[in-house]
Amino acid sequence: MTLGNIGIGYVAVGAAITLVATAIGRCRSTGDALMLLGMWPLWAPLTLARADTDHREQELLGALARAQASPLASVLPDAESARVLATQLREASVRLVDLDAVLARPDFDPAAAEARATELMARGAVAAAATTRLRVRTLGQLRTLRERYRRELDEVHELIAQLVTQAELVRLQPAIAHTSGELVRELVTRVEGLGDLFAYQSALESGDLEYETAASRSS
């Protein structure tokens, strides 16, 4: 097979992918189409991955898009910032799912670990019992972390719903648009605040006790 044939085959695969992406609405511009044609091993996963958005991410982007069409547009974050916020929200959603999966594992059950610690203590294995108690503490920290993620994501969800409602209200009463700035600021601050949760989780994973103590004092 000559290089020319390989090149033709490569472009043909790219053309096929471009047609499919266009048909399912994932190819948004001529630039996207050219990228798919010429660099489909890199561009196709990106194009298809854009469709694979978390429901919370979609909810935020959808709410911002709807609010953009109302007098609230002037107080909304720009497109780039909105994308970053949505990514942050998606990351938090993924981490919550991860935490749920971890804590559902039988070996991550704090009650079982506590029972084990008690059993070891009764047998006189003091050092092993102490280690098991530390594991219980860590599992407790994981559960606390999961609850914090849930709480934050629930609050963001309510703020998004409020934003959608407010956008409709402002459409009917444009005069009150200026009062909605605080709502948008609160939403953005909440989503940005998820970064602190990520940092806390990283600190937990690296066993940074000092950060952990400070974070628990401030929450």
Partner 1 sequence: MIGTLDVSSGPARVSLGTIDLLLRDRDIMLARIRSGNVAAILRTMIATIAVSMAIVGAALGSYRGDEQILYAAIKLPLVLLGTAALSAPALTAIGAALGRRSRLSSDLALVMSALAFGALLLAACTPLIMLGRAIELSYHQMILATVVMFAIAGLAALKMIVHALSIEQGPGWRSAIVGLCTVFVLVGGQLSWALRPYLVRPRTPDVPFVREVEGSLFESVTGALQSARGIYSRDSAPLPGD
Partner 2 sequence: MSLVSEASPMAVPRVPVAAVEATRVTPRTLALAAIGPVAIGGILAVKVGALGPLAATPAIVFGVVAATSPALYIAIAATGDAPPLAAVVRALAVALGAFGLALAGLVLPAAFLSLSSVAAFTTVVACSCALGGAAALAMRRLSSELATRTFAASVVIFVWAVATFGVAGRLWWNLASEVVS
Q: Site residues (CB under 8 A) for partner 2?
A: 1, 3, 6, 9, 41, 95, 98-99, 101-102, 126-127, 130-131, 134-135, 137-138, 141-142, 201, 204-209, 212
Using the Cα atoms of residue 167, residue 169, residue 173 and residue 178 in order, give the sign of their dihedral. Answer: negative
Which has the closest alpha carbon to 149: 213, 92, 101, 206?
A: 92
Using the Cα atoms of residue 119, residue 123, residue 127 and residue 128 in order, give the sign of their dihedral. Answer: negative
User: According to CB under 8 A, which one of 17, 40, 72, 204 is a site residue for partner 1?
Assistant: 40
Q: Judged by CB under 8 A, which stretch of 46-54, 111-119, 120-128, 130-138 contacts partner 1?
A: 46-54
Interaction of residue 92 with partner 1, rule CB under 8 A? no
Could you tell which of partner 2, partner 1, none binds residue 140, using a CB distance below 5 to 8 A set by kind? Answer: none
Burial 165-193 (b: 16+ CB within 10 A, else e): ebbebbeeeeeebeebeebbeebbebbee
Of the pair 120, 183, the CB lying nearest partner 1 is at 183
- Amino acid letter, residue 93: S
Could you tell which of partner 1, partner 2, none binds residue 181, using a CB distance below 5 to 8 A set by kind? Answer: partner 1
| Two tokens, residue 30 | 């001529």
Interaction of residue 20 with partner 1, rule CB under 8 A? no
User: According to CB under 8 A, which one of 8, 24, 31, 119 is a site residue for partner 1?
Assistant: 31
**Three-state DSSP state, 6:** helix
Q: Which residues does 69 contact at the CB level (< 8 Å), separation at least 6?
A: 167
Of the pair 40, 166, the CB lying nearest partner 2 is at 40
Q: How far apart are CA 80 and CA 216, in angstroms?
A: 33
Q: How far apart are CA 82 and CA 64, in angstroms?
A: 8
User: According to CB under 8 A, which one of 24, 49, 115, 161 is a site residue for partner 1?
Assistant: 49
Interaction of residue 9 with partner 1, rule CB under 8 A? no
CB of 84 to partner 2, least distance (A): 21
Interaction of residue 81 with partner 1, rule CB under 8 A? yes
Which stretches of the chain bind partner 1, using CB under 8 A? 2-3, 31, 35, 38-43, 45-46, 49-50, 74-88, 181, 184-185, 188, 192
